[in-house]
Structure 1
Amino acid sequence: MTHKAKIAVFISGTGTNLAALLYASRLDDAAYEIVLVASNVSDAAGLALAQLEGIATFTHSHKGISREEQDAAMEAAVVEAGGDFIVLAGYMRILSDSFVERWEGQILNIHPSLLPKYKGLDTFARAIEAGDSHAGSSVHIVTPELDAGEVLAQVRVAIAPDDTPEALAARVKPAEHQLYPRAVADYVSRGYDPEYLYAKVRELALALPETHERDSHGSPGFRVGTEKSGKFFAHFNDQHHGSQHIAVLVKTGSMDELLDLVEAQPEAYFKPAYYGASGWIGVILNRPGVDWEHVGEWLHRSWRSVAPARLTKLLDAADQF
């Protein structure tokens, strides 16, 4: 694993899930490292563990201030530590909508139920009362709506006939400790997984009118037009021809534009060894903070540059309304 995501963990208590995340991060080929443990409780036990293990800590009490002020203080600490993602591990504060929106897709939480069942509190008592056969935990993306974000992974734990909420919670806890590090690792590393990146590009490319897929020089390519006479408007490049990049190759307007972009933003663009002489530019995908809307705009622009006039005229007409 050449890239490790930097995560900040928010806690309010003992930090058992923090411990699971921390020690998983110390294994060979771990996908992330913890750069900060932050809490709203100054004597949270998890802070002592972080300090013992040499991890930076931060505390800021939520008492007497607004939710937005608390979030701003925590966010500033994350930014200073260089965090790419925020992982909630027993953080007993509801985040403000504005904070969640600024970190869209970059905050994860673990919730003690099999979502979408039993959002909120008292999840084990509610599962037992409902007569469910299993309870468990879910790792999900945090959104402004409580416990409603995309579920990334779940673990199921059987409910015994005579279970109490306390006994069930005690059995779910070690299952959580297995689930959370793996789910976090899978999520934060997918931006460097060729299969995930290709699937994203493929979805965007094939959503454009009259497009189809065809391999080109051993890598996936996307064409517009008929199977017989279609023209390529994008290629998926997985570290081909000596490149370190996973990228989508799209057409620029000119060689000058290509060279200007590469010079101004070398972290985002490169000149492909094989295609660059023809004005194709590589939009780098295996990097932090990829803007997929921007990738989609590049694909659309490249598609327009080679699409049949009958298709572009229809789009031009639609743009008038």
Structure 2
Amino acid sequence: MAALVYASRMPECPFEVVLVTGDRPNATGLDLAEAEGVPVVRIPRPTPKDKSQFFAALELVIDQSGADYIVLAGFMRILPEEFVARWEGRILNIHPSLLPKYPGLDTHSRAIEAGDSHAGCTVHVVTAALDEGPILGQLAVAIATGETPETLAARVKLAEHQLYPRAVADYVSRWRDPAALLARVRALALALPETDERESHGSPGFRVGGDKTGKYFAYFADQHHGTPHIALLVRTGSMDELLALVEDQPEVYFKPAYYGASGWVGIILNRPGVDWDAVAAWLERSWRGAAPKRLTRLMDVADEF
């Protein structure tokens, strides 16, 4: 936690620590956070009978803080499934092993007993399955001759302090990372029937309908033609619709150079809080506008019911 607090104060750090809380109201980490001027809420430690009330109180103070993400740092309780579901993709954890090796407890002694050459730490997204969420980063630590769990734990802790702030920074700023945004667009576009990717005018483009007769239904644009936007370009139904979208929601849509004259709209992706369900819906709609009738006929019939 201290490593995250101090990292947040480095120039260009993309995250801010808006709250420190936990299940041990007398934890020294809370004292450190208070001394550094970070907001702290001390929640009474739960008994087995009031766990549900504890997690309700925990989520309430997190909501009130305005936090966008939860970063676990020595929080040893398993979060309820419904809690994780509400914060899906927005809870991060660091685990003292090179996952998928040694989930759970006693990781250092297990690595030593197994004769491993390295231990380490892993930052991952929290899911309902313990220590099984997507891995965001790892750092290996050599196991020395005569190593004990205590000496290994001390060096793994040093590695954790280096890895965690960087992994958190990379994750929370992925909304402005062109490679991460393209990967997400690509996964959605290529999931549609008979699509392929081909570069066009220097941009990744997505087509439907085959190699010879395929038509483009989407482009990925990384600040092309002098705009500050990383964007998905898709077809609209008309120039009137394009202009209305841009006028009503200029923080989401813009008229792209070159493509805008043909009724394509730009959906701005390098902004927090992108609605990826809406992006997927735009891709499907644009795909249907370009796809051959043999692919859309059944969809058109289904729409009538």
Residue number among 158, 172, 175 corresponding to 1:188 in the alignment? 172
Equivalent pair of 1:214/1:223 in contact (CA under 8 Å):
yes
Residue number among 51, 59, 73 corresponding to 2:34 in the alignment? 51
Matched ranges for 1:149-298 at <5 A: 149-298=133-282
What is the CA distance between 1:29 and its match in structure 2?
1.7
Counterpart residue number, 2:108: 124
* Structure 2 unmatched runs, 5+: none
Deviations 1:160-183 (A, max 9, x none): 232221111112111111111111
1:63 and 2:46 are equivalent in the alignment: yes
Counterpart residue number, 1:32: 15
Equivalent pair of 1:113/1:135 in contact (CA under 8 Å):
yes
Alpha-carbon distance in 2 for matches of 1:252, 1:125: 59
Deviations 1:182-219 (A, max 9, x none): 11111111111011111221222223223233333332
- Quick one: percent identity of the two aligned structures? 65
Moved over 6 A (4+): 317-320
Kindly report the root-mean-square deviation, in angstroms, between the aligned alpha carbons of the 2 structures: 2.3
Residue number among 55, 73, 89 corresponding to 2:73 in the alignment? 89
1:144 and 2:124 are equivalent in the alignment: no
Alpha-carbon distance in 2 for matches of 1:270, 1:297: 18
**Partner secondary structure for residue 156 of structure 1:** strand
What is the CA distance between 1:127 and its match in structure 2?
1.5
2:227 maps to amino acid: S
**Partner secondary structure for residue 131 of structure 1:** coil
Matched pairs, number: 303
Higher relative contact order (CA 8 A, sep 6+): 1
**Partner secondary structure for residue 112 of structure 2:** helix
Equivalent pair of 1:42/1:60 in contact (CA under 8 Å):
yes
Equivalent pair of 1:245/1:286 in contact (CA under 8 Å):
yes
Equivalent pair of 2:125/2:133 in contact (CA under 8 Å):
yes
Q: TM-score, normalised by structure 2?
A: 0.90
* Structure 1 unmatched runs, 5+: 1-17
Go from structure 1 to structure 2 and tell me whether the alpha carbon gap of 1:317 and 1:164 turns closer, same or farther (over 3 Å shift): farther
Equivalent pair of 1:67/1:96 in contact (CA under 8 Å):
no
What is the CA distance between 1:288 and its match in structure 2?
2.0
Equivalent pair of 1:67/1:95 in contact (CA under 8 Å):
no
Deviations 1:45-97 (A, max 9, x none): 11222222221111212424643332222222222222111100011222111
1:80 and 2:28 are equivalent in the alignment: no
Go from structure 1 to structure 2 and tell me whether the alpha carbon gap of 1:162 and 1:59 turns closer, same or farther (over 3 Å shift): same
Deviations 1:4-63 (A, max 9, x none): xxxxxxxxxxxxxx1111222222221212111112222211122222222111121242
Equivalent pair of 2:25/2:45 in contact (CA under 8 Å):
no
What is the CA distance between 1:102 and its match in structure 2?
0.7
